[in-house]
Amino acid sequence: MRRYFERMASCIAAWAGHTTAFVLAVVVIVAWAVTGPIFHWSNTWQLVINTGTTIVTFLMVFLIQNAQNRDAAAFQAKLDELIRALEGARNEFIGIEHLGESELAEIRSALEDKEGGIDLKHRRKVIDRLIARL
């Protein structure tokens, strides 16, 4: 059951990000708007679109989150493998995504301090030069 859900979530999330899904959504909204005069702009007419969009949004949140969680886990596994494979890399960083927010902030701060702190003006100049090359 879990594997079926994962496959379904991946397919739906991929489809939802496709142009066809957007066009279909626009067509549904236009069709709903065009039928407004037919139904005399009734409360039921409004309730149909409100209920439909709420249900779709509610379900899509779970499907897209599932797909993103799997993508993030796969990405993290790839990064962990790179850390293991690189000579001189610190293996202590493998699995730090499981730490709390404050612990991660401490690690980031310690790494920045080790590299001489953040010189925002210098970084901004470097970033501007990189953007100018594009």
pLDDT for 57-104, tens place per residue?
999 999 888 888 989 999 999 999 999 999 888 888 888 889 999 998
- Single pTM value for the model: 0.62
The per-residue pLDDT for range 37-59, each reduced to its tens digit, is 999 999 999 999 999 999 999 99
Q: Which domain holds residue 129?
A: 99-134
pLDDT value of residue 28: 96
93 and 106 part of one domain:
no
- Classify the phi-psi angles of 53: left when phi > 0, otherwise alpha if psi is within -120 to 50, otherwise beta: alpha
108 and 53 part of one domain:
no
29 and 66 part of one domain:
yes
